[in-house]
Each structure stands twice: as structure tokens, then as C-alpha cells.
Amino acid sequence: MALSGESLRRFEDLRRENSSCINLNPIQRGGILSPAARRALGEWGDGYSVCDFCEGCLSDIKKPPIDVFVKEALPEFLEIDVVRVTNGAREGKYLVMHSLCEKGDTVLVDGNAHYSTFVAAERAGLKVESVPNSGGPEFKVDADWYAERIDVVKPKLVVLTYPDGSYGNVPDAARVGRICRDKGVPFLINGAYSVGRMPVSAKKLYADFVVASGHKSMAACGPVGLLGAGKEYAEKVFRRSEKYKKKELELLGCSARGLPLITLMASFPLVVERVKRWDLEVGNARYFSSELEKIGGIRQLGEKPHNHDLMSFESEVFFKISERHKKSRFFLYSELKDRGIVGLKPGITKNFKVSTYGLSGEELRKVVDAFAEIAKL
């Protein structure tokens, strides 16, 4: 392309096609900005905007109050000793693996682990072993299997996906944590889909580390995340550069700065309140699941009754319609879109994943009705 005039215009006029629709994409529902975060966008959008009063360490900045946020509010929220802001959940996992393990060491993960756990381990030169899930239809991870697997594979770190991003299963993390503590293996909770949606206490779950994702579950624009560490490990994972004494090495001196951090902070008061309403969200998810199953030819996978807003469904009924519909396998996406609903992958009919997080009663009803109508086509 020519780097001039008309051809460059496309980069300036960036309207978002689906912004007025109900979006069911699980990766997006928990990242919708709070009104306060949205107000902050213009004020803090410029590059390095948070650095006006920085004296060399991001988490020490007092204006805006990043120091209180990082050193007081976040540790209290996660019930863990030390917290740092990262660029995402995966960066937190990599940071811990890279600090704690030597090349060739093994990490033990659950059978529903996210790809970013594997990629982080690969980048750190580690072997990955897993505790299998139970297989369909529930795909549960049994905490008790950890004890035996730890004895066999001798991991340097145990990672539990809490909950996983495929089925939204919430495993018994406290039980896994107890096992790890008994065996003296550090335990990391991947809370990308929990921290900011549901209450997560590192203390109650016996976790040495918790990672969170701001753009996935904490109403932040991101990329931004959290890494919490117990005091036994904090010094190691947040060690400082020898040459630059104020710079935390694994964060390369400074992590999320500007809008990712500002929106995370501006949304935090809302996040603190919303995790207290988690029961309501679970109730909505269960309602949604049972209404969809009433349609016929649709089955929810994963734990039942379900304990999280992320749900995976098998939908024979939509596959059958796709075989005779003029839009074939794109019909489901298109029919939903016509009803103001997006977030399912275009082209899928046999399986789909959704999240009901934060939907109002009216929106839930609208989505259920849409699926029921489409199933009658």
C-alpha cells in the first residue's frame, strides 16, 4: 500500500462494528470498562501518562495513587503478601516459572490448562506434565489426583486453572493447595477467569501465587494483569536488577503503564463490589444453562450444576439446521447477529462457548429467546 492520504485513512476511522450488540464472548464480558474507567480514557490516554511523578519505580508512584493500589488494596483483595501489576496473566505465569525453575525442570498443570501456560513453560525451557481431566461430558479435574502425580513427576511448580477457559469448571483449589503445601511444592493459581469476577483468596486456597487478567476479568482495557506472591517467594520473583537498584528484573523494570493500569485502578472499586454478587452470576448462568437445555438438542458440558458464567454447549440442533440452511454453517452467527447478539465464533454450530457475566435479566431473556427461536428454523 501507499503510505499516504486515502490508504492511510483506514487506520484513523476505526469504528467498532459490534459495539451496540450484546456480546457473549467469554473473553470479553468481564473486561467491559466501568463508567469510571471509561471517563479516564481521554485524560490518561497519552503514552507514559502515569509517569509524571515517577521516581524510578512504577509501584511507588503516589500521584495517581498507584502505590496504595498496588501495595495495600490489591494484597488485601487477593489476601496475599505482595502484588505487582503485569501485562497479563501469562506474563505472571512466565515470570514465576522463569524465577523459580531451571531449564529442564517440570511444571505440573491441570488437564484443562490454557495454552498460555504451555507457552510460558516452553519459553522458560520447562517440561509440562498434567493431571488429566475426567473426560466428557464434565471434564472435571479431581484435586486428589495431584498427590500421586506430584510424587511421580516431582514438579518445581504446580499450576491450577481456576476456572478453565474451555468449560468454566471451578476445581477444588483449596484441596490442591493443601496437597502442594504438604508436599512442599509452590502452587500457582491461574485466576484469569476468576479474579475480578468471584472472590479469590490466596490464603483460603493455600496459593503461593495468583495470577489475574485485568482485560479478561477486572474491567480494564489492558493488556494488564496481576501477580500476587507469598512472602516466602516475593523476594525471589520480584528481585531487583544489580545495576539499576530500583528496577524489578522480571518486570524488565516496569510493567503495565498508562491506560492499562489506569483503567484497572479506576474500575477497582466496582470490581470489589461485584465479586460480592458472584452468587447472582452463578444463578444467572444456571438459569441460562437450564433454559437452553429445554430447547432440545442442546447440552451443557462441564460441571453440573455449573459454578461459573463461562459455559460450553454441544448443539446438535444447530448442526442439523446448518445442513439445510442457505447460509450453511454461518447461519447461527448470522441469525444471532440479526437479533443484536454477537460473540459466538462465525461458522460454528456443533459446539459453542458463551458467558452470561454481567447480563441483566432482560438481556438474559433476550438471549435465551433468540436461541429458542433460531432452533425452530
Ligand X SMILES: *Cc1c(COP(=O)(O)O)cnc(C)c1O
Q: Which residues contact residue 24 at a Cβ distance below 8 angstroms, ignoring those fewer than 6 apart?
A: 341, 342, 343, 344, 354, 355, 356, 367
Q: Can you count the helices (H) and strands (E) in the chain?
A: 16, 12
Contact indicator for 113, 286 with CB cutoff of 8 Å: no
Best CA proximity match to 227, nearest among 100, 51, 104, 50: 100
Residue 356 as a binder of ligand X (CB under 6 A): the answer is: no
Given 165, 177, 228, 260, the residue binding ligand X (CB under 6 A): 165
Residue 216 as a binder of ligand X (CB under 6 A): the answer is: yes
Judged by CB under 6 A, the stretch of 34-42, 60-68, 85-93, 226-234 that binds ligand X is 85-93
Contact indicator for 187, 207 with CB cutoff of 8 Å: yes
Query: Minimal distance in Å, beta carbon 38 to ligand X?
Result: 20
Residue 213 as a binder of ligand X (CB under 6 A): the answer is: yes
Q: Which is nearer to ligand X, 27 or 108 (CB)?
A: 27
Considering only residues 235 to 274 of the shown chain, the ones binding ligand X according to CB under 6 A are none
Judged by CB under 6 A, the stretch of 57-65, 161-169, 239-247, 269-277 that binds ligand X is 161-169
C-alpha cell at 215: 482485560
Q: Which is nearer to ligand X, 216 or 274 (CB)?
A: 216
The H or E element spanning position 210 is strand 209-213
Query: Minimal distance in Å, beta carbon 89 to ligand X?
Result: 4
Considering only residues 13 to 52 of the shown chain, the ones binding ligand X according to CB under 6 A are 27
Residue 114 as a binder of ligand X (CB under 6 A): the answer is: yes
d(CA 70, CA 92): 15
d(CA 83, CA 310): 26
Residue 161 as a binder of ligand X (CB under 6 A): the answer is: yes
Q: Which is nearer to ligand X, 171 or 177 (CB)?
A: 171
Phi/psi at 256 (nearest 5 deg)? -60, 125
Contact indicator for 45, 259 with CB cutoff of 8 Å: yes
Sign, Cα dihedral of 228, 200, 125, 257? negative
Residue 130 as a binder of ligand X (CB under 6 A): the answer is: no
Q: Which is nearer to ligand X, 116 or 267 (CB)?
A: 116
Query: Minimal distance in Å, beta carbon 41 to ligand X?
Result: 20
Query: Minimal distance in Å, beta carbon 272 to ligand X?
Result: 20
Q: Which residues contact residue 119 at a Cβ distance below 8 angstroms, ignoring those fewer than 6 apart?
A: 90
Number of chain residues interacting with ligand X (CB under 6 A)? 15
C-alpha cell at 135: 473426560
Query: What SS3 class is residue 203?
Result: coil
Residue 90 as a binder of ligand X (CB under 6 A): the answer is: yes
d(CA 190, CA 216): 12
Q: Which is nearer to ligand X, 209 or 331 (CB)?
A: 209
Residue 88 as a binder of ligand X (CB under 6 A): the answer is: yes
Query: What SS3 class is residue 300?
Result: strand
Query: Minimal distance in Å, beta carbon 162 to ligand X?
Result: 8
Considering only residues 172 to 211 of the shown chain, the ones binding ligand X according to CB under 6 A are 190, 192-193
Q: Is the N-terminal amide bond of 137 cis, ω within 30° of 0? A: yes
Q: Which is nearer to ligand X, 213 or 322 (CB)?
A: 213
Judged by CB under 6 A, the stretch of 7-15, 86-94, 233-241, 288-296 that binds ligand X is 86-94
Task: Give me the amino acid identity at 161.
Answer: T
Q: Which residues bind ligand X (CB under 6 A)?
A: 27, 88-90, 114, 116, 161, 164-165, 190, 192-193, 213, 216, 225
